[in-house]
Amino acid sequence: MFELTAQSIDPAVLSARLARPDAGALVVFEGRVRNHHLGRPVTHLGYEAFDELARAEGDAIVAETERLHPGAHVLCVHRTGTLGIGDIAVWIGVASAHRDTGFAACRHVIEEIKRRLPIWKKEHHPDGAAEWVNCTVEPARSRPTAADDFHARQVALPEIGAAGQARLVAARVLIVGVGGLGCPAALYLAGAGIGRLTLVDGGRIERSNLHRQLLFTVAEIGAPKALAAAARLRLHAPALDVVAHETNLDARNARALVAGHDVVLDCTDNFASRFILHDACHALGVPLVSAAVHRFEGTLDVFRRGEGGCVHCLWPARRADELDGTGNCAAGPVFAPAVGVLGTLQASEALKLLLGLDADAARRTTLVNLLDNSFLTIARPARADCPVCGQPETAAPAFAADDAAALLDSETLAALDPAPRVVCLAEPNETPGATEAISPHDVARLRALAAEGPLALTCRSGVRSAALARLLRAEGLRNVYALARR
């Protein structure tokens, strides 16, 4: 509940209103009038508000806080009129079952009132002078500039400099999915000085998220991810303009969400969202940085229209639901540092796109393995027969038209004559089953096997096998295939 009042605030009365038998904690904040501001002495203050708008925004802040911190019950009262030194200008109380929730909710209300509430104060000084101060405006020193000392070490890089930092401050970046990938990506982009960051996620924080989604805490379990992430990022980078959409991306809203952004990060955990987001970015000409993680491994791709292959080149003639049937990232086992590394790499690629660095980023796929700290880069040229980014008939095709046969289901593969040798790409600690196992990094061994006869690759997720099949076929080993499912 939010209230405006011209009467003196009685803390005891307000605390009594929050008494609840199920509340083990009552956290109270009292904002009092002090006798100075920005080095000048102050004798008293006058507060004025546009009542209707202030009440509506105050109610919105309280409701948002109670959604962000489930179990919190918030009461906020703000004074108007003339206040003397020591008077309470704003009183915030939070009743909750546990102190962590209370402290976090109280801080959120304080920060959002300072940032959003349309209340003006007039400072009166001993010399008789008075001046209005808009409480919603942060001091100028918190607003980003190209020469801001917050980013001094970054600006010192010759590849960035003041001009590059100015480009970052002017940039708008969209992150879809605020989970294991989105959390580190958002944190590094906010720290780098991106001007506006838009977060899209319809999920809520679960206890099983916390080992890898490091923007969140136990006190926020049950809260909307997008809202909680936005609040945490504002604390890290107060000058950041961050927008939170508590919704999932789908075919109906994808283009509207992508429009107006300079770079998009795909931090989702399923093929359906990846295909929709990719196609929206391709249609609007917005660069897309995509990553996926399974166990200790991950893949990283930058998609930019007209450069390299698109997601349909990677998965020719495959439906999203069919690929998700092989196992998506949503419920699979995952090594927390793996999503941290891949999310950080996504932030790095986004910054390089904005700064005009690494012109070839959109022409390759990078495979990362944290078990042996290896990186494998594979060319990702456009397919001549791709319905989305196929090259003109006069252009030399990067892949032959029959490359669609490189990715086969088990029935089609079983019908091949002669029967191919089936090899599972697996690390020593993985259990490949009855299939022969070879490390995905032993490319020389795979080349040798392909030279001996037809070879079918498979792996737990389907990502490594498809990527290595493309690599070997591009080298001329046309009898290499990949199983779409295990």
Domains of the chain: 2-137 (3.90.1170.40), 171-379 (3.40.50.720), 401-483 (3.40.250.10)
* Percent of the chain surpassing pLDDT 90: 55
Q: What is the pLDDT of residue 96?
A: 94
Look at the block and give the residue holding tokens 């009183």: 91
Say if residue 418 is preceded by a cis peptide, omega within 30 of 0: yes
Whether the model clears a pTM of 0.75, i.e. scores above it, the answer is: no
- Cα 441 to Cα 105, 130, 197, 426, 433, distances in angstroms: 48, 71, 37, 9, 19
Q: What is the pLDDT of residue 19?
A: 94
Other CB atoms within 10 A of residue 244 CB: 22
**H/E element holding 480?**
strand 480-483
Give 59: exposed, middle or buried? Use CB within 10 Å, 0-12, 13-18, 19+. Answer: middle
- Cα 368 to Cα 182, 211, 376, 378, distances in angstroms: 17, 20, 7, 11
Residue 114, pLDDT above cutoff 60: yes
- Is residue 2 within 8 Å of residue 61, measured between CB atoms? yes
Largest Cα–Cα separation, the chain: 97
Average the pLDDT over 218-236 and give the result: 91
Average the pLDDT over 412-433 and give the result: 73
Closest listed residue to residue 265, CA positions, set 197, 320, 215, 314 = 197
456 or 138, which is more confident?
A: 456
33 CB contacts (<8 Å, ≥6 apart)? 42, 44, 45, 83, 84, 85, 86, 87, 89
Rounded to an integer, what distance in angstroms lies between the CA atom of residue 59 and that of residue 65?
10
3-state secondary structure of 398: coil
3-state secondary structure of 9: coil
237 CB contacts (<8 Å, ≥6 apart)? 150, 190, 191, 193
Residue 306, pLDDT above cutoff 70: yes
Closest listed residue to residue 436, CA positions, set 463, 455, 418 = 455
Give 395: exposed, middle or buried? Use CB within 10 Å, 0-12, 13-18, 19+. Answer: exposed
Residue 234, pLDDT above cutoff 80: yes
438 phi and psi angles, rounded to 5 deg: -140, 145
128 phi and psi angles, rounded to 5 deg: 90, -10
Residue 7, pLDDT above cutoff 60: yes
Residue 313, pLDDT above cutoff 70: yes
* Amino acid symbol at 388: V
Average the pLDDT over 420-439 and give the result: 72
pLDDT in tens, 366-400: 999 998 888 988 888 888 888 787 644 333 333 33
* Amino acid symbol at 432: P
Q: What is the pLDDT of residue 325?
A: 43
Residue 263, pLDDT above cutoff 60: yes
Residue 80 banded pLDDT, cuts 50, 70, 90: very high
Q: What is the pLDDT of residue 412?
A: 73
Q: What is the pLDDT of residue 388?
A: 80
Residue 339, pLDDT above cutoff 70: yes
Average the pLDDT over 266-288 and give the result: 92
Mean pLDDT score across all residues of the chain? 85
Tokens of 376: 């494998």
239 phi and psi angles, rounded to 5 deg: -80, -10
Residue 184 banded pLDDT, cuts 50, 70, 90: very high
Closest listed residue to residue 226, CA positions, set 183, 289, 171, 276 = 183
Q: What is the pLDDT of residue 394?
A: 33
CA dihedral (135, 139, 140, 142) positive or negative:
negative
**H/E element holding 14?**
helix 11-17
Q: What is the pLDDT of residue 124?
A: 94
Which residues are 303's β-sheet partners? 288
Q: What is the pLDDT of residue 443?
A: 78
3-state secondary structure of 3: strand
DSSP 8: P
- Is residue 225 within 8 Å of residue 178, measured between CB atoms? yes
pLDDT in tens, 89-104: 999 999 999 898 999 9
Q: What is the pLDDT of residue 27?
A: 96
Residue 142 banded pLDDT, cuts 50, 70, 90: very low
Average the pLDDT over 31-58 and give the result: 92
Closest listed residue to residue 145, CA positions, set 197, 195, 196, 198 = 195
